[in-house]
Amino acid sequence: MSKFQDEAQWSVGFCDCLSDMKTCCTACWCPCITFGQIAEIADKGSTSCGTSGALYTLIMFITGCPCLYSCFYRSKLRNQYNLKGGGCGDCMRHFCCETCALTQEYRELENRGFDMSIAMSKSQDEAQWSVGFCDCLSDMKTSCTACWCPCITFGRIAEIADKGSTSCGASGALYTLIMFIAGCPCLYSCFYRSKLRNWYNLKGGGRGDCMRHFCCETCALTQEYRELENRGFDMSIGWHANVEKNPGLAMAPPVEKGMNR
């Protein structure tokens, strides 16, 4: 019996991307998110969604052809699940229609039982973010504000992170100034991600903070904004009003260390 006969069929056709518009749109407009989630599952948690998505974006900006990287993960998925296809076909599919290829791979993993929004790797000593980096589309209001008016979203985050020592307006204005002068406001905003991580002992690192803001400022700001909301802050009223309503918000939660063997 030939190898072709032994290989399994994909559960979703290559040209069936339009049957799942949400996944298709994400793969089209924010392919770094879709690819990052695929890569984390394919690598069994050895690389994170953010890291893979950042590298994908970097290759896209440098070469203009991110399929040079993403096609290898299609081959990895095929080998893991003995799916029909070949190395040349993987490259051609990603080269001809990156959106269709990513959508097919994403849905294949979903159909095999994976929740693509959940990270595979977990740290014993660090807390998980309550919202995934790639889950920005699950809150369209916050996501749209972070996309079209990032100075507002960042200003509110910065006021809480600075515990009221700087106002929303001042931080938002400085963010806008850096954006117009340098064209890269993530040079400023990434430091506030680090500040939030240190405050709540959240998973991540300084290099990852910079890469996440550089690759997708909207996703990073949305995740940080929703993290603070989930921790009890009303982001529309600022630090001082929040503390007046609930003084306990001013205290960072105790760090729970994992068991060491």
Q: What is the mean pLDDT of residues 211-230?
A: 93
pTM over 0.75: no
Return all residues near 214 (Cβ < 8 A) that are at least 6 apart.
54, 57, 184, 186, 190
**pLDDT tens track for 224-261:** 999 999 999 999 999 999 999 998 887 755 444 433 33
Handedness of CA 189, 194, 195, 199 (dihedral sign): positive
The one-letter amino acid at 116: M
Which three-class secondary structure state does DSSP give residue 8? strand
Q: Is the pLDDT of residue 53 over 90?
A: no
Which three-class secondary structure state does DSSP give residue 127? strand
Please report whether residue 241 resides in a domain: yes
User: What is the C-alpha to C-alpha distance for residues 101 and 15, in angstroms, rounded to an integer?
Assistant: 9
**pLDDT tens track for 126-155:** 788 999 888 888 899 999 999 999 999 999
- In this structure, the answer to whether residues 148 and 241 fall within a common structural domain is yes
Please report whether residue 48 resides in a domain: yes
Which three-class secondary structure state does DSSP give residue 48? coil
Give the chain's domain count: 2
**pLDDT tens track for 56-106:** 888 888 899 999 999 999 999 999 999 999 989 999 999 999 999 999 999
- In this structure, the answer to whether residues 237 and 172 fall within a common structural domain is yes
Under 8 Å between Cβ of 142 and 226 = yes
Measured CA to CA in angstroms, residue 243 lies from 121, 231, 238 at distances of 34, 13, 9
Burial (CB < 10 A; 0-12, 13-18, 19+), residue 115, is exposed
- In this structure, the answer to whether residues 104 and 208 fall within a common structural domain is no
User: What is the C-alpha to C-alpha distance for residues 196 and 206, in angstroms, rounded to an integer?
Assistant: 11
Of the candidates 129, 116, 140, 144, which has an alpha carbon nearest to the alpha carbon of residue 200?
129
pLDDT in the model for residue 5: 55
Domain that holds residue 104: 12-111
- In this structure, the answer to whether residues 22 and 92 fall within a common structural domain is yes
Handedness of CA 96, 97, 100, 103 (dihedral sign): positive
Under 8 Å between Cβ of 232 and 249 = yes
- In this structure, the answer to whether residues 72 and 148 fall within a common structural domain is no
- In this structure, the answer to whether residues 63 and 160 fall within a common structural domain is no
Please report whether residue 47 resides in a domain: yes
User: What is the C-alpha to C-alpha distance for residues 63 and 69, in angstroms, rounded to an integer?
Assistant: 11
**pLDDT tens track for 21-34:** 989 998 998 898 89
- In this structure, the answer to whether residues 62 and 153 fall within a common structural domain is no
- In this structure, the answer to whether residues 106 and 176 fall within a common structural domain is no
- In this structure, the answer to whether residues 140 and 230 fall within a common structural domain is yes
